[in-house]
Structure 1
Amino acid sequence: MQIQADIGPFHEWAFPDGTLWTRFFHTDTGYLLRFPNLADFSVSPDGHEVTAYPVPGLSQQTIEHLYQNQVLPLALSRQFKLVLHASAIEIENFAMAFMGASGHGKSTLAAHFSTCGNRFLTDDGLQLEKGEDGYLIQPSHPSIRLWEDSSAALIPETTAAAPAVDYTPKSRFLADDEVAYCDEPRPLRALYFLGEGSANAVLIEPISGRDAMIELVKNCFLLDIEEREMLMHHFGQLSELARIPMFFRLDYPRRYEWLPQVRNVVIRHASELL
């Protein structure tokens, strides 16, 4: 059963149509994340302990899906980890990332690249670890979530789909020989911010560190937006990342027949950076 919250939420997430998605509460034991009519998740202050309280009858697949894709990235932020709304694929043992708002094509690009031989590391919830020579992208769950039209256009019929979940019509496809997955960390060499799809050709252009910082702030996972110390630390992480000249704007017509050309242009551009 869901937990009784003693005070009102300090933050809420809603879909573009206004539908409430997540409510965030402070509790005596840390944080409470409420997904209405689905589940509550309690998260310890340090993000190392998470407990699910689903509504009766919620499938195990839905609980795991909520945890992997919604709760875990936020819990990692309490561990001072840097987690971004981005997908990532591998080119010549390096990682290239695609960042953008929901519906801009992050998962579509990850799926297309992976079915063409460039292994994917994540379709969202990209976790970065700072090393001596830059940043490493950590692999996440070996699956890609797609809308029906994208899965029909991109995913081989022989690829296994994970069991359906209760809150989204998206399908989740498990990595296999045809949807190639990279299970090792890879150095990040470029991050492409996805445009709106208004271009009539495949366009890549560099962007400034200032503009990159704005996009990074908009597309990061952060559980507590009120805690000053955590905000300062997180802002410092993003500022340090934004100083590296590896950020670009990528735009292209949002039609599936353009994806092979997008891949060719990105590979050619990435090769110039390696």
Structure 2
Amino acid sequence: MTFMQVTSPPRPERRTDSDERRGNMPVLPSCFGYQVYGLHIASQLELPELLPSSLRADRDVDILTHALPVSLKQAIQRGSWIQLSETRCQMTIPRIARYRMDGGRRIVVDRRVDTSLGCDPGDVRLYLLGTAFGTLLHQRQWLPLHVSALATPSGAWAFTGASGAGKSTLAAWLHHDRGWPLISDDVAVVKPEETRPWLYPGPPRLKLWKDALAMLGIGTQGLVRDLSRADKYHLIQHRGFQAVPLPLTGLVVLERAEPGEHAVLEKLHGVAAFQAVMASLYRPELARAFQVPQSLMRHVADLAQRVQIYRFRRPLSLHDMTPVLSPLIAHIAGAAPDDV
């Protein structure tokens, strides 16, 4: 499918909240159509990281490009880079761009921030598809989860944990070794209003350290280097990803074992399961900014009861992955999607 390229950003059309509630989003000229997180998007920015889709009148989100004021009206300043109001969020990334997320329906990108210094378009998209979209998902009262996830024979299994816990490496190895399609490597989303917890994929990209790429036989030539970590790379639209959502069967919290420890898979219940889900939320401070605390806790508790929650401690090594992961693989392969 071919999309018209943006030549100059048109002035945004005036619309009302009632129009948007009825799905009457005005037509935006010179836009690209995409899909991600179960959302249909019209964007004035070209986003090669996302899967293309036809432009729809009943789309869910507009991404616009025009100037933004430095300050957001009736907002509270949080730190040096983010402002929050009841339904809006504005963040300013020095030397990159200014972003405004509005009511879960619109993202405005102002690229005229320190323009004399120059900025790579990929950097603008990185923050757009990261924190900006994560904020928009919280504004929609959904649960964006900071996970790597796979489509297994027993449904979707997601892996979470502290930074450096090996989420991406584990998912990439299971995809490579078991042939399980990837669903997400950063953020995937659950919609609490659905009777069954479906996991909706995020952007089809995979972030791996250089040594993990070498283990999988993937060269670094042509890959996008991570902004903050020189030895980490992004595989854009990685071939192993699937675009459709799947029922979420399990969430596994990854922990690093001490030297000499054996791998242990432990099922979590009650408060421990609730805390595991809460800790997996993407930028939970933004969840608290846009969701009523009681509603957020209810949604998290409900998800913790409807999926299997585990803690998996294992040696963090790229060697001997098969014996280390055997308890996890055996359980996932033998689990039933509704066995909670």
**CA spacing shift, 1:131–1:161, aligned 2, 3 Å:** farther
Select 1:91's aligned residue among 132, 147, 152: 152
Instruction: Please give the alpha-carbon distance, in whole angstroms, between the structure 1 residues aligned to 2:182 and 2:268.
Output: 24
Q: Which amino acid aligns with 1:51?
A: V
Residue 92 of structure 2 corresponds to 34
| Structure-2 residue corresponding to 1:145 | 207
Q: Compute the RMSD of aligned alpha carbons.
A: 2.8
TM-score by structure 2 length?
Answer: 0.68
Query: 1:30–1:168: structure 2 CA closer, same or farther, 3 Å change rule?
Result: same
Aligned equivalent of 2:250, options 190, 203, 217: 190
SS where residue 265 of structure 1 aligns?
A: helix
* Residues in 2 aligned to 1:28 and 1:76: alpha-carbon distance in whole angstroms: 15
Aligned to 1:102: 163
Mapped partners of 1:132, 1:226: distance in 2: 22
Paired residue for 2:184? 122
User: Where does 1:1-274 land on structure 2 (aligned, <5 Å)?
Assistant: 3-5=69-71, 10-12=77-79, 23-26=81-84, 30-44=88-102, 46-54=103-111, 55=113, 56=115, 57-92=118-153, 94-116=155-177, 117-130=179-192, 134-157=196-219, 161-164=222-225, 166-169=227-230, 170-177=232-239, 180-198=240-258, 200-221=261-282, 222=284, 223=286, 225-226=288-289, 230-244=292-306, 246-274=308-336
Normalised to the residue count of structure 1, the TM-score between the two structures is 0.82
Q: How far apart, in 1, do the equivalents of 2:268 and 2:221 lie?
A: 39
SS at match of 2:191: strand
In 1, Cα distance between the equivalents of 2:253 and 2:227?
30
Q: Check 1:110–1:160 CA distance in 2 against 1; reply closer, same or farther (3 A cut).
A: farther
After superposition, give the CA deviation of every residue in 1:195-239 in whole Å (9 maximum; x if it has no partner): 133272221011122112123223313425345x53332221101
Select between 24-33 and 64-73 the one with higher mean Cα deviation: 24-33
1:225 partner letter: R
Q: 1:8 to 1:77 in 2, by over 3 A?
A: closer
Amino acid at match of 2:146: H
Q: Render the CA deviation track for 1:5-26: whole Å, top value 9, x for unaligned.
A: 37886435xxxxxxxxx83213
CA contact (8 A) 2:190 2:199 kept: yes
Larger RCO (alpha carbons 8 Å, 6+ apart)? 1
Letter in 2 for 1:118: W
> Where does structure 2 lack aligned partners over 5 or more consecutive residues?
1-66
Checking the alignment, whether the CA contact within 8 Å between 1:115 and 1:155 is kept in structure 2 is no
* Partner residue, 2:37: none
Change (3 A) 1:162 1:9: farther
Q: Is the contact between residue 188 and residue 199 of structure 2 (CA under 8 Å) also seen in structure 1?
A: yes
Cα 1:225/1:245, change in 2 over 3 Å: closer
CA–CA distance in structure 2, aligned partners of residues 32 and 83 of structure 1 = 19
Distance in 1 (CA, whole Å) between partners of 2:126 and 2:84 is: 23
Give structure 1 stretches of 5+ with no counterpart.
13-21
